[in-house]
Amino acid sequence: MVDKAQLLAGNAANIEEFRANSGRLAAFGDAPVLLLTTKGAQSGEQRTSPLMYLGDDADANCVYVFASYAGADVDPSWYRNLVAHPEDVRVEIGDESLTASADVLAASRRAEKFAQQAARYPQFAEYEKKTSRTIPVVALHLQR
């Protein structure tokens, strides 16, 4: 199970590093990372999470994020926040900060995007093996 206090402390350090280094995080190597800010499903407070993402080759204004939670059997809080407030989203990529909306992908599209991510970053395939749930994939539609 994911230790929530440890996760929050790590996220705070990653957010600070991301913003200080134009969107680069040493712990993620060359993997593409964004900061996702959502409105809390219950609290209504703004919450920010660093996440790996997959760009859309056909649409520069769309990126995909994966609610893997490192293979835990529950969805991450940021995912529940997006489901509750899909129009209240902020995304930071590099030095750019954008508003966005979110759509949870339907089964066939989800399978396609998840397979692409797992092929590029095999840990996603490992996360899928560790959990009994289907890991949701969310399209973030960036407004530029």
Per-residue model confidence as pLDDT tens digits over 105-136: 999 999 999 999 999 999 999 999 999 999 99
pLDDT for the residue 3: 67
CA gap 16, 141 in Å, rounded: 24
Domain ranges of the chain: 4-143
Phi, psi (deg, nearest 5) at residue 94: 60, -125
- CATH number attached to the domain at 4-143: 2.30.110.10
pLDDT for the residue 11: 84
pLDDT surpasses 60 at 66: yes
Q: What is the pTM of this model?
A: 0.93
pLDDT for the residue 73: 96
pLDDT for the residue 74: 96
CA gap 109, 107 in Å, rounded: 6
Would you report the helix, strand and coil content of the chain in percent, each value rounded to 5?
35, 35, 30
